[in-house]
Amino acid sequence: MDLVNILNLGIKEIRGLLRDPIMMFLVVFSFTVQIYTSATAVIETLNRAPISVVDEDDSPVSNRIIQAFQPPYFTPPVLITQGEMDRRMDEGRDTFALDIPPGFQRDLLAGKVPEIQLNVDATRMAQAFSGSGYVQQIVAAEVNEFLNHYRSSEPPSADLVLRARYNPTLNGGWFQAIMGISDSVTLLALVLAGAALIREREHGTIEHLLVMPVTPLEIMVSKIWSMSLVVLVGTAFSLVVMCEWLLGIPVNGSLALFLLGTALHLFATASLGIFLATVAGSMPQFGILMILVLLPLQVLSGAQTPRESMPQLVQDIMLFAPNTHYVILSQSVLFRGAGLDVIWPQMIWLAGIGAALFSISLHYFRRFLK
């Protein structure tokens, strides 16, 4: 294996990537716009939920309830009539519609237990389930304060103090942005490595390589290191510029240690991308194969849902996927500030899986060149 050949072939791959506007757009978009939108647009917690109120009582207590719904959890309530409630919810203009019946304050002062109707658009799942609890707590707090003439709560006999070491405000955007980077790393490693090989076939340059004094091992290694370098640079840029500087998301652990783990993950995933490219006959076929492989890798890796909630069989199978160990490594380093003494098992797993995938891909790549 000639290192000079590997270096020159890798530079050729980077130049070919720079001349491909579609691939360059995908790289830039994945590490900039996608990360920003993951942190700011995809919010799982209740945020500015639209609410309307039918105030049939028009009393001081009903006004207190209406004024209690404020941003950022709710938009300022809109006062509507009974006839507008169903129409507005059918049009998707309101997620919650609160109906305060006539005589509500009179019944409260008389010691009765009046009822308030809450209509919820359950098709908006992210807001409907958590928002119903918020509405119930707000109404109960305002009613109790009105009846007792002061706001108070009985101190619990045992108090549980919660302290979040990372993300004390529990901002879901922080987690979405960091996990979005790991998803982009996997996606781009598969796409760039596989597309580099298919581009050789479609442009007819694969025959040129076969008559040159280079080996299949040198060709494959050059494609892996060049495309991995592009993704690695994008990962560092996204963490430092997009997350830390632009979004204000802190990184607790060592950036160098995280990039080392990313390099091992890229070695494994890029090898898998070349294997898929040798199986596929064209770019459309490669795209279909990549979807079939990429979706299970990302969904079952633990980035979206905890692995502990999955069936044991799925957990055992996913131990042989590089994503699983990369997600554990990323969360440990970036969220909890873990060091090499904690993540060394994931490093070994990634190196072993990468070596296995590289050997398999090299075998099929040699057959591909014949």
In whole angstroms, give the CA distance from residue 1 to residue 7. 11
Provide the pairing of β-strand 96-100 with 117-120: antiparallel
Predicted pLDDT of residue 266:
94
Q: Which residues, in sequence order, are CB contacts of 85 under 8 Å at separation 6+? A: 52, 54, 94, 97, 99, 119
Instruction: Name the DSSP letter for residue 156.
Output: P
* Residue at 120: amino acid letter: V
In whole angstroms, give the CA distance from residue 80 to residue 217. 71
Q: Which residues, in sequence order, are CB contacts of 168 under 8 Å at separation 6+? A: none
DSSP β-bridge partners for residue 55: 100
Predicted pLDDT of residue 57:
92
The closest alpha carbon to 115, from 94, 138, 139, belongs to: 139
Q: Are 222 and 241 in contact (CB under 8 A)?
A: no
Both tokens of 291, joined, read 């979807």
The CATH number for 51-148, chosen from 3.30.565.10, 3.20.190.10, 3.40.50.720, 3.40.1710.10, is: 3.40.1710.10
The b-or-e profile of 239-252 (16+ CB within 10 A means b, else e) is: beebbeeebebebe
Predicted pLDDT of residue 234:
93
CB atoms within 10 A of CB 364: 15
**To the nearest 10°, the Cα dihedral for 347, 352, 355, 357?**
-110
In whole angstroms, give the CA distance from residue 339 to residue 329. 10
Predicted pLDDT of residue 236:
93
* Residue at 20: amino acid letter: D
Provide the pairing of β-strand 78-79 with 96-100: unpaired
**pTM of the complete model:** 0.77
- Going edge to edge, which strands form the sheet with 78-79? 78-79, 51-55, 96-100, 117-120
* All CATH 3.40.1710.10 domain ranges in the chain, comma separated: 51-148
Predicted pLDDT of residue 44:
62
Low-confidence stretches of the chain (pLDDT beneath 50):
none
Instruction: Name the DSSP letter for residue 241.
Output: I
Q: Integer distance in angstroms from the first to the last C-alpha of the chain?
A: 19
In whole angstroms, give the CA distance from residue 199 to residue 47. 45
Q: Are 44 and 172 in contact (CB under 8 A)?
A: yes
Predicted pLDDT of residue 267:
94
Predicted pLDDT of residue 170:
66
Which residue intervals of the chain are DSSP H helices?
Answer: 3-18, 21-31, 33-40, 60-68, 82-90, 104-109, 125-148, 172-203, 206-210, 216-237, 255-279, 283-299, 312-318, 322-330, 340-369
User: What are the angstrom distances between the C-alpha of 220 and each of 41, 127, 186, 216, 287?
Assistant: 39, 48, 18, 6, 20
Predicted pLDDT of residue 157:
66
